[in-house]
Structure 1
Amino acid sequence: LEEGEKTRSFASGMGAISAILIHLAKKHPEIAFPKVLYGGTRAFIEQYLIPSGCLIHWFDPREEGWDEELSRRLSPDTGAIFAETPSNPVMTVIDLEKLSSAAKKVGAPLVVDNTFATPILQKPLVLGADIVVHSATKYLGGHGDLLGGTVTGKASLIDRLSFEEGSYLGATLSPFNAWLLLRGMKTLPLRMDAHCRGAMMVAEFLSGHPGVKSVHYPGLSKDPGHKIASSQMKGFGGMLSFSLGDDQRARRVASGLELFKIAVSLGDPESLIEHPASLSHRQMTAEERMTLGIDPGFLRVSVGLEDPEDLVMDLKRALER
């Protein structure tokens, strides 16, 4: 699906991410990361990589000229550039060709977390990345009933990763979860088409609602990442986020929904909603979250496979209570 030479499976998405980052940092303990990043990956950076002596270069892809600034900070000692696009949870879209260019200038591999887009909508290896990781727990599995992760790249790299971190860290995918994952991937194209259609309808509704402060979805023409997403993605995905500005109101709306389950996972047949400030990004300070664009009233949504009109009506009722 990713058009890579070989894939190694792991017991979870973080099992895959931690294994490849440890592998790359062994020889060159210097890695660049975007500030907009999944909370679990950020926690691994702060709790493991930095205490282990790895030098971290943070960059902000939302700023003008970010790629030039990043290039100035990189060196031949850089072990990798890591990114996710669209990002979790603020849906920032990163130009992969610019990232690839910056990585190639210093001979560093570009690692892309493609969990949100899936290979159905975006192929990072074709766009210049060297390695792709997935939390297979999410869209690849697609049914909310398994844990898994994958790393895809050149066969020589995956062979070394499998022999070293793949063996020594113990995050091996179980046979049953492997079977569930193979089952889920059979319907991935059909599911992603439905997720995309549903997310677009929900995003359009939210963007027109007077009680919604902001909506983040690359499929909206006014979204900052729309142009880049249109050029490197075949669809805009099933994830979106929006802000109500107020913490208590956001919690009331999330709790008042009937069709959306409160959960930090994503990519399930059921629609899911979460409040990052109290769930996925709770380990960060309020100031750190605000810097990333996660205000107290911020909510992240994984649009499922239900009838989009039913989801819109559910949101409408919750917002107007």
Structure 2
Amino acid sequence: MSKSSTMPAELLCDQRSFSHEDWDILARYWYPVARLADLAAQPIAMRLLDVPLVLWRSAEGVSVALDRCPHRGVPLSKGSICDDHLVCAYHGLRFAGDGTCTQIPAQPGLPPSSRFCLQSFPAVERYGLIWTCLRPQGEPKIPPMPSWEESGHQQIVPPFVDIKGSAGRQVEGFIDVAHFAFVHHNAFADPDNPVVPNYEVHADGDAIYSDYVSTVSNFPKGLQHLAPEGFLWRRAFAIYPPFTARLTVHFPDHGLLNILNAACPMTATSTRLFVPLTRNFDTTGPLDEVYAFNAQIFAEDQEMVESQWPRILPLDPAAEAHFAADRASVAYRRRLREMGLRFQ
């Protein structure tokens, strides 16, 4: 069998940009590391919390392991898939889906010892994504997206977005409602409508919820005439620290758009963003338009996130100023501190 995933942090990677304390906390949570659609005939490389990973598909399902051959340290993502095995590019060692080394070509008659087993991690398929955890504890705790299984809701998994900024900064930008008029005025918002009405925020268990109602349309520019005059748009956020949030937008005629903002912290200052979504309207419309609209919005956000300084989300309450419309992000930062994170 493969080695367990309880190897000390200092052995998992050569160096970390997270502190030991923050890494130990963050490594207990589940993160998306790839789209199912991107797993093809070759292994792929990914990084989570500074740890290099290799992902591949076999008859046993999707496998995730440390991207390092235990023989001479070559990344296994440079290898190939052959006869349902992951094959190292350097010496051809073969690994089964559970991480067991099954063959050493240079010594075909010698059964590989347990020292040649891969450092493996669990893999869970959900919302069109592969999720993993570096230090799993009990059952997988993956943020909920109930609409994914509901009848009448179309499932869409746009391409991921790589961001040169921290996952905390990205999530905070996603739940921010005061930037619409200034950042998204080309996509959907109105530059002459910047006022943020009061909205409610409350915590329940591990999640934070905010309910924001305004006149800011969520239709793309050019389609905003489809909303009835005076229609109030409701945006309900559910934040699942450390780095996932869900937005439900209530459209006219009982339309619902659900977006899961699932940020994977590749390093402390680089993020791969996955955004699976569902909708119960226009379910036969072309997906190219959905991809393009989402890409526009996230590109507008990306420009802001990548320019922020410091790049890591500051958790000291005195580090940055806040105004009333920031109540959701203030609650988010408070929850991260309560988890024991410091981001220093």
With the shorter chain as reference, the TM-score category is: under 0.3
When normalised by structure 2's length, the TM-score is 0.25
When normalised by structure 1's length, the TM-score is 0.26
The structure number with the bigger radius of gyration is: 2
Give the helix-richer structure, 1 or 2. 1
Give the strand-richer structure, 1 or 2. 2
